[in-house]
Chain A
């Protein structure tokens, strides 16, 4: 079947099998390898992207379900005037080691901060409870998101 969607503002169209997951469409058909593929069960969260501005786990969304919709991936976080504050926060606070969980962490964090700009650290932990990191023990990730909350972004990233 033919599927078309906007990914980071660019139209992407491909002829795919109906069973193709959105995460594979993003990686294979759009060629955007920033989004990682982990568990296939919505447990690990590394595949998190936005569909129509809402954070979703792209291993449990079919590409066909996203047909005609707007998708934003980690490649779309950076704005004209540089890195998004959540990206900068992960640098400042050493919020990653191996980096496998990072794209999902970043996309969930940005989405969350857009809705709750001044969260407590407990609220940050709850917000990323669907994202698994096996390296950091989470402390630096929570610190990184907190850093981003204290440095509001100037870029406008939508959908």
Chain B
């Protein structure tokens, strides 16, 4: 058996999960779909002494909508989101993001909350949350709090959550129909982690761009917003030329490390190419 020994608890409610986390202490870990945690445990990169399984808590599953927000329960699985029928540009972003997570037999199991809590800088959900500055609801023994994505993701595999807190839900804003959105990723094989991923959303009013957003994954310790490239698009017409200019600026905003996939210049080139493709290919 590969993982180190641990105690397994299946929580029936949020309250029970939190009291189990308090009881089991800092070396315990919340178990969601397990698609990142269990491989890490199999390699003993993670050695929790207790797992609190929260995947059976019905209150943490499902998608609900208000006129302004889309609220997704943390234990909602990737495949449910890939097959969801949420309308509008935000629905399109949810489906495109979900469909790029791992392989099919991973998407049946993995959850959006597990992915956010894992805080992998090339994760689709971390990209989308950063792109939209989504609000993450967290509950612990000190009560419920909401944290915006830009404060939630701290660094590699580290979030603003304390060990005794549970990720309850994430809220994305509804996007009106004049928004265009796109997801672009480069990976060697379908389902692999993206070497670089780009997400974008912007509105076009009276022929000019407003509220441009560009998020990039895979180039730093967390997902980044490319604020200079975004600023360069404000008030501009959605033309190939303006998209290319923004993509060149985007490339200059990142400072990736080299690794086995290639030198830093490779990732910077990908940022430029994928940003241009995302902007030019964005649609409602």
Residues of A within 8 A of B (CB): 1, 17-21, 24, 40-42, 45, 48, 51, 54-57, 59-62, 64-65, 67, 108, 111-112, 125-127, 129-131
Contacts and interface: CB of A to CB of B under 8 A. Distances in A.
B20 to A, nearest CB: 14
Given A17-B1, A42-B39, A55-B104, A64 B34 contact: no
Contacts of A131: 103
A64 B6 contact: no
Interface stretch (B105-113, B137-145, B228-236, B252-260): B105-113
Given A57-B109, A62-B8, A111-B104, 18 more contacts: A1-B8, A19-B3, A19-B41, A21-B42, A41-B43, A42-B105, A45-B103, A45-B105, A54-B79, A56-B108, A56-B109, A59-B38, A60-B42, A61-B109, A108-B104, A108-B105, A125-B190, A129-B191
A55 B34 CA distance: 15
Contacts of B1: 17, 19-21, 24
A48 B39 contact: no
5 contacts: A20-B1, A42-B39, A57-B105, A65-B34, A108-B104
Nearest to A63: B8
Nearest to B191: A129
Nearest to B53: A65
Contacts of A48: 105
A67 B10 CA distance: 10
Interface of A is mostly: mixed
Interface string B183-201: 0000001110000000000
Interface in B1-43: 1-8, 10, 31, 34-35, 38-39, 41-43
Interface of B: 1-8, 10, 31, 34-35, 38-39, 41-43, 51, 53, 55, 79, 102-106, 108-109, 189-191
For the complex of A and B, the 4 pairs showing the least CB-CB separation, nearest first, are A130-B103, A18-B8, A129-B190, A54-B108
Most buried by A among B3, B53, B104, B106: B104
Nearest to B2: A40
Nearest to B105: A55
Given A65-B53, A129-B191, A18 B7 contact: yes
B87 to A, nearest CB: 22
B53 A112 contact: no
B113 to A, nearest CB: 16
A20 to B, nearest CB: 6
Contacts of A24: 1
Most buried by A among B10, B102, B105, B106: B105
Contact of B34 (A45, A60, A67, A126): A60
Contacts of B6: 18-19
A21 B104 CA distance: 20
A41 B105 contact: no
A35 to B, nearest CB: 13
A104 B39 CA distance: 18
Given A17-B1, A24-B1, A129-B190, A62 B38 contact: yes
A28 to B, nearest CB: 10
Contact of A42 (B5, B10, B55, B106): B106
Given A18-B5, A41-B43, A60-B39, A130 B53 contact: no
Contacts of A54: 79, 108-109
B103 A19 contact: no
A20 B5 CA distance: 9
A112 to B, nearest CB: 7
